[in-house]
Chain A
Amino acid sequence: MSRLFSQKPLASIVSAGCSKFGKRTGIMARELFVEAFEEAIARCKDPDIRSKIKIGIFGNFSEFFEHQAHVAPILADWLGMHNLPSLRVENACASGSTALRTGIMAIQSGIYDIVLVGGVEKMNNRTTPEVTEALMTASDVSVEQWSGLTFVGVFALMATAHMHRYGTTEEQLAMVAVKNHRNAYYNPKAHMQKLITLEDVLKSRVIAWPLKLYDCSLVTDGAACLILTKPEIAEKFTDVPIDIIGSGHANDHSSIVEKEDITEIKGIRIAAREALEQANLTINDIDVFELHDCFTIAEIIEYEELGFTEKGKGGKLIEKGITDLNGEYPSNPSGGLKAKGHPVGATGIAQIYELYLQLRNEAEQRQIKGAKIGLAQNMGGSGLTHFVTIVKARS
């Protein structure tokens, strides 16, 4: 998509919806998705938008949770659109962004002018060991899984090396969790609206040292969706379109064994460069960030990869409050995966939903004042798949 650079947006978001995140007992994935979709319909200026959507593209990680594959046509059917062509995409925790990127391509191709993209995961039907097992399938079976490494474990290897080389501390990791919980406190859709202290994090039980329970994102049920159109027709459906002005996508080696430097997550840098070049912006032009804080160490490394600070100084950055709501690089105003929650397939879309609210000045107590441009960074697997998306409020 880098070759398609122009000042014209790649696509426009004309409506968005997000379910309440949490342990949603007694509701299935398709029903969670209906909850998100109804909000998107209600927000849309055209009450007949449903009949105009041409395709549905859905991110969903694992058929294990509900013993349900072939999810896309079921979601479409449950939205009342059983004839809608639809497809499911999967890139682990980046499945949502994969759906978004595919939707952008569908519009850029000229084949479709109105596209529904979304993501959903219903994880809490299963026990914690079962969820651990399912998430682990996103790491490389031939080396990572077979070594007894869990998904948390892969990020713990990065954390140990980062701490050893740069002096990053467990307290600095914990500060990421404290900050994101503080932001989620103001997000009524967050899984956990609960303030936590540094001590809570440090005293929580060890999952994969140096990472503890409160360093980990939540096992969450949730769904989110966006309605995209070609930029030229967006204003028929909303008074405030949010334009997608950059979309970057990159991969890295399959397992941590072959990564050049395990204190880095290089794919983020590559995807961010692509998105920023398309948008013709630098990182300092961005007003608000939604980052993939699957584990606290990930957010620290992301600060470095996105250029908030130099390599190795991410830990120092969190200490200075630069990524707080009123800081220079406000990150995860939604509460992030850490506290808003991480329904795997929905996460990439839910990040954009938060930016949609922020850029429309609808984020209430967690609103970043005057935010005009937002960036979302979403990662799949153990640093394997990367997306960076830049959105801007149309003035």
Chain B
Amino acid sequence: MSEEISIEEFYRRANNGELYASMCMNCGKLSLPPRKICPSCFSNKLTWKKISEEGEIESFTIIHVAPKNFGEEVPYAVCLVKLKDDIRILARMKENLNEIRIGQKVKIVIKRTDRKEWPNWPLLYAEKL
């Protein structure tokens, strides 16, 4: 693992099964995607902070017309999840689409991809808790 703060490093860490956000060492603000400059106090001293994979659905949509990378998987839901650390993430859900509700407790599950071309970042899924 590199200590360098970057989006690629966020996904490398996710590939190892863990979610990290950038944390400002000056004001404590957490950011996802991770940032090199704190959007709150403009400090450039940031570090990685491991964050919880659990949270709740703040909003969602059911995608029926998808971009080409995801086209064969429709319909699927994309959920805006507010994690326990009070930071948001987007994650997909493929099952029980009729039961998705705002406020539902979920857990982020990370899946590696075998894509050859960039970006070959892992995919994030939400699963009902």
Cβ contact within 8 Å between B63 and A149: yes
Cβ contact within 8 Å between B65 and A161: no
Complex Cα spacing A147 to B79, Å: 9
Cβ contact within 8 Å between B64 and A205: yes
Other A-B contacts than A164-B102, A253-B39, 12 sampled, CB-CB below 8 A, are A129-B65, A136-B67, A143-B33, A148-B66, A148-B69, A148-B78, A150-B66, A157-B59, A157-B78, A210-B61, A256-B80, A257-B80
- What is A's interface to B at a CB cutoff of 8 Å? 128-129, 132-133, 136, 140-150, 152-153, 156-161, 164, 205-211, 253, 255-258, 262
Report if B54 contacts A (CB, 8 A): no
**What class of interface size applies to chain B in its complex with A?**
20 to 34
Given known A-B contacts A205-B64, A206-B62, A257-B32, A146 and B88 have beta carbons under 8 A apart: no
Least CB separation from A158: chain B residue: B59
Report if B5 contacts A (CB, 8 A): no
Cβ contact within 8 Å between B80 and A157: yes
Least CB separation from A256: chain B residue: B80
Given known A-B contacts A147-B92, A150-B67, A208 and B119 have beta carbons under 8 A apart: no
Given known A-B contacts A149-B78, A206-B64, A207-B65, A143 and B119 have beta carbons under 8 A apart: no
Cβ contact within 8 Å between A148 and B92: yes
How many A-B contacts are there with CB distance less than 8 Å?
A: 101
The one of A141, A160, A211 that contacts B59, using a Cβ cutoff of 8 Å: A160
Most buried by B among A160, A207, A262: A160
- In B69-110, the 8 Å CB interface with A consists of 69-71, 73, 76, 78, 80, 88-92, 102
- Closest CB-CB distance, A251 to chain B, in whole Å? 12
Most buried by B among A140, A144, A146, A159: A146
Report if B58 contacts A (CB, 8 A): yes
B89 partner residues in chain A, CB cutoff 8 A: 143, 257
Complex Cα spacing A136 to B61, Å: 16
Cβ contact within 8 Å between A146 and B119: yes
Complex Cα spacing A161 to B7, Å: 27
Cβ contact within 8 Å between B68 and A164: no
The one of B32, B61, B64 that contacts A157, using a Cβ cutoff of 8 Å: B61
B70 partner residues in chain A, CB cutoff 8 A: 148
What would 26 A/B residue contacts be, using CB atoms closer than 8 Å? Answer: A132-B66, A132-B67, A133-B67, A141-B119, A143-B33, A145-B67, A146-B121, A146-B123, A147-B78, A148-B73, A153-B63, A153-B78, A156-B61, A157-B61, A161-B80, A161-B102, A164-B102, A206-B64, A208-B63, A210-B61, A256-B80, A256-B90, A257-B80, A257-B90, A258-B31, A262-B80
